[in-house]
Amino acid sequence: MAWKTLDDMDLNGKRVLIRVDINVPMEDGRVTDTTRIDRIVPTVRDVLAAGGTPILMAHYGRPKGKVVPEMSLSHVVPALSDILGQPVTFIDGNYGERVAALETGEIAMLENLRFNPGEEANDDAFAGRLASLGDVYVNDAFSAAHRAHASTEALAKLLPACAGRLMQAELSALEGALATPKRPVVAVVGGAKVSTKLDLLGNLVSKVNHLVIGGGMANTFLAAKGIDVGKSLCEHDLADTARDILQKADAAGCKIHLPTDIVVAREFKAGAEHEILPVDQCPADAMILDAGPDTVKALEKVFTDCNTLIWNGPLGAFEIPPFDFATNAAARKAADLTRAGKLVSVAGGGDTVAALNGADAADDFTYISTAGGAFLEWMEGKTLPGVAALEG
């Protein structure tokens, strides 16, 4: 890839503007989950070690260009200071004077960028104001890289720019999984609706050897093949689209895997009465809520035969037992193979991360992306403005 990393930059004595994602959950003015803060620590520490002064920039929530006190990043500073192990200077108001007063080795945090309408407008003037504060630009917020905002795109063109450690890890993992993978490659795509992942499916059939379709999405494909799915979640109006994807996969030599047995119930609730049936025997008054054990065994064999796995979306209604079986079992198999050095596994997306954590499998995956929209757009083959700006 054409982007630079911290190792390519001279940071000694430089003010280093670092775009981070610390859009963390808060309750009563306190951070309740520090995961996103934890992930920026390597970049901040490496900048300090290289003699630079880190100036952190981020957004929080959707204030829509206005000052909203409860969305101030001042609320995040105590947790930030604790995790970084030193005080973080919070800067609101006059950026220039406050930044000029910083001493080498200090860490600063600018106020919520989205308080200024120029941020989301990708305004050159606002980007110029930010650029005047530093000597080097570092983007460590892959999760915001799909947005063409002042701090992710325009600013990157005004200063020497590079990827931070988190961005570097994310791009390297995705590049290795999709652009230059060790084959065979299997992709698992699940979730409720085909309509939300049409671009993803269309891109993957030309990139992977095996495509596993699960969750409510699988019902749409089953129905498109003439299989009765009863009262299951299904986008019947997308039957032609599903058949088109199946044809494209066949032409590209990509094998599509759909459930061969199903778990059905009449109620959508935890512990609901359920039964396991062949895929073509769903009762008219029942819903398909998970893939069955035979399907899982077949997937486990696919995983064993492949060298690279990309995962986005659960295989069933993973939030409520017993309909979490297929997702949990497949995730644990992928984790076992990864731990044994037999599989490179990359996963991303909110439901995916929750499902893998629920299966106690996340820690053994090669890489877990928490980026959500950016991860999905990358998988769809789209250009991410924040990444393209680093390559320019």
Active site residues: 36, 193, 350, 373
Torsion, Cα of 280, 285, 291, 292 (10° steps): -70
Cα distances (Å, whole numbers) of residue 333 to 172, 190, 298, 321: 24, 17, 12, 19
Q: How far apart are CA 284 and CA 213, in angstroms?
A: 22
Pairing state between β 287-291 and 308-312: unpaired
Residue 30 known to bind ligand: no
Residue 339 known to bind ligand: no
Residue 236 known to bind ligand: no
Residue 105 known to bind ligand: no
Pairing state between β 210-213 and 255-257: parallel
ω into 184 cis (within 30 of 0):
yes
Residue 23 known to bind ligand: yes
Within a 10 A sphere around the Cβ of 131, how many other Cβ atoms? 19
Residue 61 known to bind ligand: yes
Q: Based on the number of CB atoms within 10 Å of its own CB, is 341 exposed (0-12), middle (13-18) or buried (19 or more)?
A: exposed
Structure letter (DSSP) for residue 5: B
Residue 21 known to bind ligand: yes
Q: How far apart are CA 308 and CA 304, in angstroms?
A: 10
Residue 62 known to bind ligand: yes
Q: Are 334 and 372 in contact (CB under 8 A)?
A: no
* Token code pair at residue 108: 């600063």
Residue 237 known to bind ligand: no
Residue 199 known to bind ligand: no
Residue 341 known to bind ligand: no
Nearest of 170, 202, 168, 59 to residue 120 by alpha carbon:
59
* Three-class DSSP category at 180: coil
* Token code pair at residue 182: 């060790």
Residue 22 known to bind ligand: yes
Annotated binding site: 21-23, 36, 59-62, 114, 147, 197, 319, 349-352
Annotated binding site for (2R)-3-phosphoglycerate: 36, 114, 147
Annotated binding site for substrate: 21-23, 36, 59-62, 114, 147
Annotated binding site for ATP: 197, 319, 349-352
